[in-house]
A and B are shown apart, each in its own frame.
Chain A
Amino acid sequence: MSTKKLNLKDKYRLLTRDLDWDFSYEDRKDAFPFEEFEGIKITDWDKWEDPFRLTMDAYWKYQAEKEKKLYAIYDAFSQNNGHLNVTDARYVNAIKIFLTAVSPGELAAHSGFAFTGRHMGGIGARIAAQMQSLDELRHIQTQIHAMSHYNKFFDGFDEFSHMHDRVWYISVVKSFFDDARSAGPFEFMVAIGFSFEYVLTNLLFVPFMSGAAYNGDMATVTFGFSAQSDEARHMTLGLEIIKFLLEQHEDNVPIVQKWIDKWLWRGYRILTVVAMMMDYMLPQKVMSWKEAWELYFEQAGGALFKDLERYGIKMPDYTDLIKAEKEHLSHQAWWTFYTNSQATAFHTWIPSNQELDWLSEKYPETFDKYYRPRWEMAKEMADKGERYYNEGLPQLCQTCQIPMIYTDVQNDPRDIVYRSTKYQGERFHFCSDQCQHIFENEPEKYVHSWLPVHQIFQGNCGGPGGLEKVMDYYKLDVGKANMDYVGSPDEERWKTWKGVA
């Protein structure tokens, strides 16, 4: 008996679309109970255009091949003591941030896409989301493996999963994904699939990967490459979901617009840490944050929104503000971490004179005027043996959970932006109009933000008894994994390996 070989198209249909079935004795609505409450109207799932045609068996085959190559390189990296090839041990702090703050986001994305991969009514969309869910699980696994080699030689990696639910700045990323995952399936798709993966990924993933390439970090570069074809699929899925929702019903347009406005802002606020990484943490710089924003958002994003105009979608009206903030963001962030690095899981340092000059050149409008003086003061204090660490705990934004560090860049960049609103008799504070609006649209949700500073005061982070207890609760090895790079065990080991006194 001869078996007929199926062509790719038939195979795809059988292995994806035909996996769906009609409901004869149950109401289809009961099978997809989350499909309507967000107000999104789907008239015909058959109009879904598959953003890529990959059958499950092909998917497993490709991914397995990629894994094989990836792990062969990891092994070689390990055997050759690949960590010795980075430009400087300072660099490793950038990937400590990656592992503690970005990688757990992969796991959150995995769970979010598993949810939408179950709950969207259309089989094509479900299959695509399920594949992405598996990709994201692969991403966190390969990232942990890439970092495991560094973990043998540097401090600050080992408690990343414990820290995720606790540490003050990591809560920013955690709350971002918790927010998306507790939304309905369509909001999640617009939040993570479109706003994050499609619009912002070049400003998150790419800076870390090119930072790795410029700084001799083979392990990170390799998982970056290995994730690249996955990311390409994620981007096409993000774009398809937007187009599909907008084409299905005109009533979807204002809902989608609102989600774009919300999630691009939420995503952008998170990029604060990327801005800082690019401008301050890479011994060998790739480009400035400002240049990256111009290239990947102002140019590429501008073209995208021109494209979406025909559906009635507008570029969020805060992009002028972001344009002005790009001159300030990284400097504000690194200063915050530098002065608080008694409570971080990575090291900080004062930029070298050469780096200060690079910053002046890249930020001619703002750096010498507002930010160089801070480093001069910090240096003066450090030289006197009085390295400055901030006392006390910062005020946080109720929505993005970031300390209220953002200033009024369009008027006087020396003034912090203060916004507040009252809800149920309680005052809530925000870093921006945008964070305030997000709160006011969904106060029921944001009143239970887990703000690390307030949780500490309530005694929920190691109990009462001061910051020492909090550091134990974080499992943060104070003085070892954090504070100044200069004089740290990391530096000491690096010097020994490199044979410098």
Chain B
Amino acid sequence: MATLALRADYHGDRKDSADKFGGAILVYINWDKHLFFYSAKAFPLDPNMPFAAVLEHVIGTHFCQHPEYKDIDWGTVEWSLNNEPFQPVMDKSLAENGFDHKCLLRFKTAEKSAFADAGV
């Protein structure tokens, strides 16, 4: 289907195409079942950044306010990229790990608490 338009060639320019972020790619990150953060967060990231750096400097600084963050056992965390199961390689870059523009990274932890039961 297409927009009903006066002009057959009507097409808006893509406002968020990859070329508009100064070489960065947009990555959305969500900690599943932790609605303390109400939605995934968006980050413009250098695709050459190693995954380990994202874990430390992006996830580590943006999800640490949750009181249970410090208890996460990162060895058991389940990751997904664009809703497919995913195993990050820590010392490889985002690009090498398969990240592209406007991708969605989710992680699932297994802590047990009343807050976790409520999805907080």
Contact = CB atoms under 8 A, between A and B. Distances in A.
A391 B62 contact: yes
A448 B114 contact: no
Contacts of B13: 447-448
A189 B6 CA distance: 17
A371 B36 CA distance: 10
A420 B11 CA distance: 20
Interface string B27-46: 01010110111111111100
Interface in A357-384: 369-374, 377, 381
B48 interface: no
A39 interface: yes
Interface in A15-56: 33-34, 37-39
Most A-side CB within 10 Å, residue of B3, B33, B62? B3
A38 B6 CA distance: 8
A187 interface: yes
A391 B58 CA distance: 11
Contacts of B104: 395, 418, 420, 429
B56 to A, nearest CB: 15
Interface in A416-473: 416, 418, 420, 424, 426-429, 440-451, 453-455, 457-459
Given A391-B65, A403-B38, A458 B20 contact: yes
Interface string B81-112: 01100000000000000001111100000000
Contacts of B103: 427
A457 B44 contact: yes
Interface residues of A, number: 61
Interface stretch (A58-66, A82-90, A199-207, A331-339): A331-339
Nearest to B15: A448
B4 A38 contact: yes
A38 B12 CA distance: 18
Contacts of B119: 370, 407, 413-415
Given A374-B36, A415-B32, A442-B2, A426 B41 contact: no
A499 interface: no
Interface in B25-77: 26, 28, 30, 32-33, 35-44, 61-62, 65, 67
B38 A405 contact: yes
Contact of A415 (B18, B33, B37, B82): B33
Contacts of A413: 119
Nearest to B83: A418
A183 B11 CA distance: 14
Contacts of B41: 391-395
Interface in A321-337: 332, 335-336
A426 B102 contact: yes
Nearest to B17: A426
Contact of A369 (B11, B30, B118): B118
A122 interface: no
Nearest to A457: B44
6 smallest beta-carbon distances between A and B, as pairs: A414-B119, A448-B12, A373-B118, A442-B3, A395-B40, A392-B41
Given A38-B4, A390-B37, A454-B26, 6 more contacts: A336-B38, A369-B118, A370-B118, A450-B15, A454-B42, A459-B22
